[in-house]
Structure 1
Amino acid sequence: MPAATRTAAKRASSKTAQDYTAHHLQVLEGLEAVRKRPGMYIGSTDSRGLMHCLWEIIDNAVDEALGGHGDRIDVVLHRDGSVEVRDQARGIPVDIEPRTGLTGVEVVFTKLHAGGKFGGGSYTASGGLHGVGASVVNALSARLDVEVDRAGKTYAMSFRRGEPGVFSDVAGSEGAKDPEHDFTPYEKGSELAVVGKAKRGATGTRIRYWADPHIFPTESGFDYDALVARARQTSFLVPGLTLVIRDERRLPGTKGEDGPVEEVFVHDGGIAEFVDFLAPDSAVTDVWRLQGSGTFTETVPVLDASGHMSPTEVERECGVDIALRWGTGYDTRVSSFVNIIATPKGGTHLTGFDQALLKVFRKQLEVNARKLKVGSDKVEKDDVLAGMTAVVTVRLAEPQFEGQTKEVLGTSAVRTIVAKVVETELTAQLTSTKRGEKQQSAQLLEKVVAEMKSRISARVHKETQRRKNALESSTLPPKLRDCRSNDVEATELFIVEGDSAMGTAKEARNSEFQALLPIRGKILNVQKAAIGDMLKNAECASIIQVIGAGSGRSFDLDAARYGKVVIMTDADVDGAHIRTLLLTLFFNHMRPLVAAGRVYAAVPPLHRIEVVHPGSKKNELIYTYSEAEMRSTLAGLQKKGRSIKQPIQRYKGLGEMDADQLAETTMDPAHRTLRRVTLADVDAVAEVFELLMGKDVDPRREFIVSSASELDRERIDA
Structure 2
Amino acid sequence: MASRTPSSNTAKKPAKKPTRKAASAKASRNGYDADAIQTLEGLEAVRKRPGMYIGGTGSQGLMHLVWELIDNAVDEAVDGHATRIDVTLHRDQTLEVADNGRGIPIDEHAKRKVSALEVVFTELHAGGKFGGGAYGASGGLHGVGASVVNALSSRLVAQVDREGHTWELAFRNRVAGQLDDGKFKAGHGLRKVKRISKTKTGTRVRFLPDRELFDADAGIDVDEICDRVTRSCYLVPGLKVCVHDKRSGGRREPFEFVSRGGLADLVNDLSEGDRASEVISLSGIETFTERVPVDGKMRDVERECTVDVSMRWVKGFDTSFQSFVNTIPTDQGGTHVAGFERALTRAVNDVLLKDARKLAKLAKANKHRATKEDIQEGLVAALKIEFPEPQFRGQTKQELGTPAIEKIVYDIVKSGLADWFGGSGPKTHINAVREKIATAIVNRVASKQVLENRRKAASMGSTGMPEKLADCRVHGPDAELIIVEGDSAAGPAKLGRNSENTAILPLRGKVVNAGKATLKQVLDNAEAQSLFTAIGAGQGKDFDLDNARYGRIVILCDADVDGSHIRCLLLTLIHEYMQPLLEAGRVYAAQPPLYSCRVGDTLHRAFTEEERDAITAELTKGRRKATKLTWNRFKGLGEMNVDELAECALDRDSRVLRRLTMEDAKQAKEAASVFDVLMGSDVAQRRDYLISNSALLDPSALDI
What is residue 62 of structure 1 aligned with on the other side? 74
Q: How big is the shift at 1:314?
A: 0.9
Q: How big is the shift at 1:77?
A: 0.9
Give the counterpart letter for 2:411 in structure 1: K
Give the counterpart letter for 2:404 in structure 1: A
What is residue 192 of structure 2 aligned with on the other side? 194
Q: 1:333-352 to 2 correspondence within 5 Å? A: 333-352=320-339
1:394 aligns with 2:367: no
- Of 516, 540, 543, the match for 1:552: 540
Q: How big is the shift at 1:571?
A: 4.7
What is residue 706 of structure 1 aligned with on the other side? none
Q: 1:262-661 to 2 correspondence within 5 Å? A: 262-303=254-295, 309-364=296-351, 367-368=354-355, 371-372=358-359, 373-374=361-362, 375-377=365-367, 379-432=370-423, 434-465=426-457, 481-485=468-472, 487-489=474-476, 492-497=480-485, 499=486, 502-510=487-495, 512=499, 513-518=502-507, 523-524=512-513, 526=515, 530-531=518-519, 534-535=522-523, 540=528, 543-544=531-532, 547=535, 549-555=537-543, 564-571=552-559, 579-595=567-583, 599-606=586-593, 608-613=595-600, 619-623=601-605, 646=629, 654=637, 657-661=640-644
Structure-1 separation of matches of 2:287 and 2:152? 39
Structure-1 separation of matches of 2:635 and 2:181? 77
What is residue 236 of structure 2 aligned with on the other side? 238
Structure-1 separation of matches of 2:556 and 2:197? 72
Cα separation, partners in 2 of 1:523 and 1:15, compared to 1, 3 Å? closer
Structure-1 separation of matches of 2:285 and 2:563? 56
What is residue 662 of structure 1 aligned with on the other side? 645
Q: How big is the shift at 1:662?
A: 2.6
Structure-2 separation of matches of 1:23 and 1:392? 51
1:235-254 Cα offsets, whole Å, 9 max, x none, are: 33333322222222224xxx
Q: How big is the shift at 1:531?
A: 4.2
Q: TM-score, normalised by structure 2?
A: 0.80
1:658-705 Cα offsets, whole Å, 9 max, x none, are: 5532322113345334445577xxxx999999999999xxxxxxxxxx
Give the counterpart letter for 1:621 in structure 2: L
Cα separation, partners in 2 of 1:156 and 1:571, compared to 1, 3 Å? farther
- Rg (Cα) greater in structure: 2
Give the counterpart letter for 1:84 in structure 2: E
Percent of matched pairs sharing the same residue: 41
For these two proteins, the number of residue pairs brought into alignment is 647
1:421-461 Cα offsets, whole Å, 9 max, x none, are: 33222333333264223322331332232232234224314
Structure-1 separation of matches of 2:114 and 2:423? 59
Cα separation, partners in 2 of 1:365 and 1:149, compared to 1, 3 Å? closer
Cα separation, partners in 2 of 1:574 and 1:417, compared to 1, 3 Å? farther
Give the counterpart letter for 1:667 in structure 2: L
For 1:448, what is the secondary structure of its paired residue?
helix
1:671 aligns with 2:662: no
Q: How big is the shift at 1:343?
A: 1.7
1:469-519 Cα offsets, whole Å, 9 max, x none, are: 9xx79895xxx732155755476443445x4xx522432234755232427
- Of 218, 221, 226, the match for 2:219: 221
Structure-1 separation of matches of 2:664 and 2:214? 37
Q: Which runs of 5+ in 2 are unaligned?
A: 1-17, 675-697
Cα separation, partners in 2 of 1:302 and 1:379, compared to 1, 3 Å? same
Cα separation, partners in 2 of 1:311 and 1:238, compared to 1, 3 Å? same
* Two-structure CA RMSD over aligned residues (Å): 4.0
Stretch deviating more after TM superposition (515-524 or 634-643): 634-643
Structure-2 separation of matches of 1:44 and 1:676? 41
For 1:239, what is the secondary structure of its paired residue?
coil
Give the counterpart letter for 2:503 in structure 1: Q
Give the counterpart letter for 1:77 in structure 2: L
Give the counterpart letter for 1:206 in structure 2: R
Give the counterpart letter for 1:272 in structure 2: A
Q: CA contact under 8 A between 1:525 and 1:584: conserved in structure 2?
A: yes
For 1:399, what is the secondary structure of its paired residue?
coil
Q: How big is the shift at 1:642?
A: 8.4
Give the counterpart letter for 2:235 in structure 1: L
Q: How big is the shift at 1:16?
A: 1.3
Stretch deviating more after TM superposition (339-348 or 638-647): 638-647
What is residue 176 of structure 1 aligned with on the other side? none
Structure-1 separation of matches of 2:554 and 2:646? 14
Structure-2 separation of matches of 1:315 and 1:623? 83
Q: CA contact under 8 A between 2:136 and 2:388: conserved in structure 1?
A: yes
Q: How big is the shift at 1:219?
A: 3.5
Q: Which runs of 5+ in 1 are unaligned?
A: 1-6, 171-181, 304-308, 614-618, 696-712
Q: CA contact under 8 A between 1:525 and 1:693: conserved in structure 2?
A: no
1:210-259 Cα offsets, whole Å, 9 max, x none, are: 111232344422122322222233233333322222222224xxxx3xx7
Q: How big is the shift at 1:42?
A: 1.3
Q: How big is the shift at 1:533?
A: 5.5
Q: 1:13-24 to 2 correspondence within 5 Å? A: 14=26, 16=28, 22-24=34-36
1:13-49 Cα offsets, whole Å, 9 max, x none, are: 6261698654554332222222232222112222221
Q: CA contact under 8 A between 1:41 and 1:136: conserved in structure 2?
A: yes
Q: CA contact under 8 A between 1:509 and 1:663: conserved in structure 2?
A: no
Give the counterpart letter for 1:509 in structure 2: K
Give the counterpart letter for 1:292 in structure 2: G
For 2:411, what is the secondary structure of its paired residue?
helix
Structure-1 separation of matches of 2:460 and 2:650? 25
Cα separation, partners in 2 of 1:637 and 1:458, compared to 1, 3 Å? same
Cα separation, partners in 2 of 1:224 and 1:517, compared to 1, 3 Å? farther
Give the counterpart letter for 1:664 in structure 2: E
Q: How big is the shift at 1:56?
A: 0.3
Cα separation, partners in 2 of 1:559 and 1:18, compared to 1, 3 Å? closer
Q: CA contact under 8 A between 1:97 and 1:104: conserved in structure 2?
A: yes
Q: How big is the shift at 1:114?
A: 1.1
Give the counterpart letter for 2:290 in structure 1: E
Q: CA contact under 8 A between 1:360 and 1:426: conserved in structure 2?
A: yes
Stretch deviating more after TM superposition (651-660 or 264-273): 651-660
What is residue 177 of structure 1 aligned with on the other side? none
For 2:212, what is the secondary structure of its paired residue?
coil
Cα separation, partners in 2 of 1:463 and 1:322, compared to 1, 3 Å? farther
Q: CA contact under 8 A between 1:386 and 1:451: conserved in structure 2?
A: no
What is residue 3 of structure 2 aligned with on the other side? none
Cα separation, partners in 2 of 1:685 and 1:212, compared to 1, 3 Å? farther
Give the counterpart letter for 1:312 in structure 2: R
Structure-2 separation of matches of 1:685 and 1:334? 30
Cα separation, partners in 2 of 1:11 and 1:551, compared to 1, 3 Å? closer
Structure-2 separation of matches of 1:693 and 1:122? 63
Cα separation, partners in 2 of 1:287 and 1:575, compared to 1, 3 Å? farther
Q: CA contact under 8 A between 1:610 and 1:621: conserved in structure 2?
A: yes
What is residue 686 of structure 2 aligned with on the other side? none
What is residue 692 of structure 2 aligned with on the other side? none
